[in-house]
Amino acid sequence: MGPITYLSEEKKQLGFAKKKLFGVGKKSLLKALVEKGVFLPLDLFYAKQQKEHAPLHALLFAMARKGHLCVTIKKGEIAPPLSELASDPQSLSALQTLLHEVPEGTYSLPRMAALEESIAHGILRLLSFPSKEITASLHPEMTEEQALGLHNALTSPFSLITGGPGTGKTYTAKQIAAAFRQAGREKILLTAPTGKAASHLGASFPDAESGTLHSFLRCLEEGETLDADLIIVDESSMIDPLLFSELLGGVGPETALVLMGDADQLPAVEGGSLFADLIEEEEIEIPRIHLTKSHRSDRREILDLAASIVSGEPIPLCNIDLGFASRDLETIYTKLWEHTKSLFPTDWLQNQNSFQILSTLRKGPLGSEALNHFFYEKFAKVTDQFPIMIIRNDIQTGLSNGDMGVLFGKEKALFPTGKEISYSSLPPYEYAYCISVHKSQGSEYDHVLFLVPEGSEAFGREVLYTAVTRARNKLEIDGDPRQIASALSRSSRKHSTLRERLKNLKSRKT
């Protein structure tokens, strides 16, 4: 990776001298790419505000919308590849023309660069804190991997635990929490990026305080840190750069921070694959353990399928036919209704994790929005109870993005915690007959029907892996085989400068 460049620096530092890249020819090309949908008008608007280096700014803004925190240009190659923005040769050629004069280097938008720099500083700050040196006796059932995860958490101010489903991440976290309590350090916070993931973690630790990262961090004044001896964060792959920066700033020298998650899952929607970056970083000595031994023999077939996905191996469609091959929406909808109408629970509140439809997409005729409208129209004829998902954190009601509940007509909504909210006070929600794979992270269901419609390949094998590992007992997959094969052949990992920044900062301090 070349030098990391903030685009707010002087032009001579960028190597552009006094060249203006927003000439008439390039201006026409940029507009043409907007008309073709490669760039959005917002990308062009942002680029125009910069006056200089406009094509590069447009590219950075467009890639940021895709979740990438930087763009690297080296030996004529651009990463992330331009194919993430365009597939037709004409558009790709136009992009190459626009960018061919840009010097080699790694470029970030100022905001992204500042966040990554803050995260790198925060990590090195935590690692500089004194060791905790808490001792504990090992539980006889702990594996060697789990014991190392426990040791890391008891001796280091910052550690990482990754592993697939059934490898004992939650079990290891329980042993860590128990050891802290035995040492008289009983202020333990359990948290996750979403309400559903936080609730799932909290259910395993009834005596500890749990909540979303937002709920804990929003109470802090500038310079304040969380009052805790131990903070365990689950589903860490979902932490976006801003939240990551705020979390690290909220951890004091007396606190141990343990990040848990599955690095093979989908990255954060808002950008970056920061947890996976840290898991892979070897030069910076962050205590980490990768749990590999599965303890769930009842899920062996599903876990083997997940392992195949990580390796990019072909996977079979399950033995159902919803008419995807016909490409006829009416046929697909009819077959989908006939296949699922008896699978949805009659008591949503008590059995909300018994069956769930997942789609890789939110938009489009087979995305979660359209399918939820379809199922709502069907069920509204026979019931006034509808599954919903909260889609925005709400301080007044205490509900979090991702919380699931049941709506009773236009009267009220009930949630598994026992909370009852009047319809007029309910924060924004969407029906939850079908949810996107992104929204399903942190949840598990007895039976999953996973739909892979056209357009799914952009999310890579991570979307397949995440969906498959939501199923506890039964998994059905149907979709376009070409989309599945294409998704398996690519990754949705996002580009960032975090690892490079960590090494640069460490070298300056030594």
d(CA 363, CA 373): 12
The last residue of a domain, from among 108, 125, 160:
108
At residue 31, does pLDDT exceed 70? yes
Do 400 and 285 belong together in one domain?
Answer: no
CA-to-CA separations, 354 to 333, 373, 431, 448, 461, in angstroms, rounded: 22, 21, 16, 9, 25
Radius of gyration of the chain (CA): 24
**What DSSP designation does 22 have?**
-
Q: For residue 359, what are its two tokens?
A: 């789609």
Nearest CA to 168 out of 265, 286, 289 is that of 289
Please compute the mean of the pLDDT values over residues 336-345 and round it to a whole number.
Answer: 92
Mean pLDDT along residues 104-122: 95
Q: Is the pLDDT score of 20 beyond 60?
A: no
Residues 309 and 254 in one domain: no
Q: What is the pLDDT of residue 48?
A: 83
Q: Which domain holds residue 49?
A: 5-108
Residue 423 maps to a domain:
yes
Instruction: Please report, for the domain that includes residue 250, its CATH number.
Output: 3.40.50.300
Residue 299 is predicted with a pLDDT of: 76
Token representation of residue 130: 């004194």
Q: Which residue type occupies 148?
A: L
Q: Which two three-digit tokens encode residue 412?
A: 């009220």
Predicted local distance difference test score (pLDDT) of residue 326: 63
Quote the pLDDT of residue 318.
61
Asked which of 132-141, 239-248, 304-313 is least confident by mean pLDDT, the reply is 132-141
User: Is 319 a member of any domain?
Assistant: yes
Instruction: Let me know whether 346 and 460 are in one domain.
Output: yes
Mean pLDDT of 291-308: 82
Q: What is the mean pLDDT of the chain?
A: 88
pLDDT tier, 2 (very low <50, low <70, confident <90, very high otherwise): very low
* Residue 141 and residue 44 share a domain: no
Residue in the structure block whose two tokens are 């319809």: 423
Within-domain flag for 496: no
DSSP label at 128? T
> Domain for residue 494, yes or no?
no
Indicate the helix (H) or strand (E) that contains 445: strand 445-452
> What is the mean pLDDT of the segment spanning 133-160?
89
pTM of the model: 0.88
For residue 130, cis peptide bond before it (omega within 30 degrees of 0):
no
Residue 380 lies inside a defined structural domain of this protein: yes
* pLDDT tens digits along 419-451: 999 999 999 999 999 999 999 998 899 999 999
Of 136-140, 219-223, 246-250, 310-314, the poorest mean pLDDT is in: 136-140
* Residue pair 262/162 in contact by the 8 Å Cβ criterion: yes
**What confidence score (pLDDT) does residue 323 get?**
66
Do 217 and 336 fall within a single domain? no
Say what the pLDDT of residue 47 is: 85
Say what the alpha-carbon torsion angle 80, 83, 85, 88 is, to the nearest 10 degrees: 160
Task: Say yes or no to pLDDT of 21 above 70.
Answer: no
- Identify whether residues 268 and 121 lie together within a single domain: yes
* Residue 384 located in a structural domain: yes
- My answer on whether 104 and 117 are in the same domain is no
Q: What integer pLDDT is reported at residue 319 of this predicted model?
A: 59
Same domain (yes/no): 383, 475: yes
Least confident of 312-321, 336-345, 348-357: 312-321
Q: What's the structural domain count of the chain?
A: 3
pLDDT at 16 over 50: no
Specify whether 398 is located in the same domain as 310.
yes
Q: Which of 40, 58, 38 has its CA nearest to residue 48?
A: 58
Decide if pLDDT at 23 tops 50. no
Rounded to an integer, what distance in angstroms lies between the CA atom of residue 288 and that of residue 100? Answer: 41
Whether the per-residue pLDDT at 19 is higher than 70: the answer is: no
Confidence of residue 325 (pLDDT cuts 50, 70, 90): low
CA 129, CA 2: separation in Å to the nearest integer?
31
Q: b/e per residue, 397-421, with b = 16+ CB within 10 A?
A: bebbbbbbbbbbeeebbbbbeeeeb
Render pLDDT for 185-219 as a digit per residue (tens, 0 to 9).
Answer: 999 999 999 888 888 888 888 888 988 999 899 88
User: Do residues 72 and 189 share a domain?
Assistant: no
The pLDDT, as a whole number, for residue 348 is 86
Question: Is residue 76 scored above 90 in pLDDT?
Answer: no
Distance CA 275, CA 146 (A): 19
Q: How far apart are CA 392 and CA 426, in angstroms?
A: 10
Least confident of 73-77, 131-135, 224-228: 131-135
Are 144 and 56 contained in the same domain?
no
Nearest C-alpha neighbor of 11 from the set 126, 103, 146: 103
**Contact (Cβ atoms closer than 8 angstroms) between residue 113 and residue 6:** yes
Residues 231 and 100 in one domain: no
Residue 162 lies in a domain: yes
Q: Which of 108, 136, 171 is the last residue of a domain?
A: 108
Q: Per the domain annotation, does 99 fall within a domain?
A: yes
Q: In what order do the strands lie in the sheet with 105-108?
A: 4-6, 105-108, 71-74, 77-79
- Cα angle 494-497-503, degrees, rounded to a multiple of 5: 135
Q: What is the reported pLDDT for 322? A: 72
Lowest-confidence region among 119-133, 201-215, 219-233, 331-345? 201-215
Dig out the tokens for 182 from the structure.
């035995």
pLDDT value at position 111? Answer: 94
Q: What is the pLDDT of residue 440?
A: 93
Cα distance between residue 122 and residue 238, in whole Å: 18
Q: Helix, strand, coil % (nearest 5) of the chain?
A: 40, 20, 40
Percentage above 90 pLDDT, the chain = 58
- Helices (H), ranges, 129-265: 144-155, 169-182, 195-202, 213-217, 241-249
pLDDT band at residue 7 using 50, 70 and 90 as cut-offs: very low
Average pLDDT of span 331-350:
90
* Lowest-confidence region among 109-123, 194-208, 317-331: 317-331
- pLDDT average, residue stretch 72-100: 90
Six token digits for residue 44: 């062009």
Domain boundary among 267, 295, 323: 295
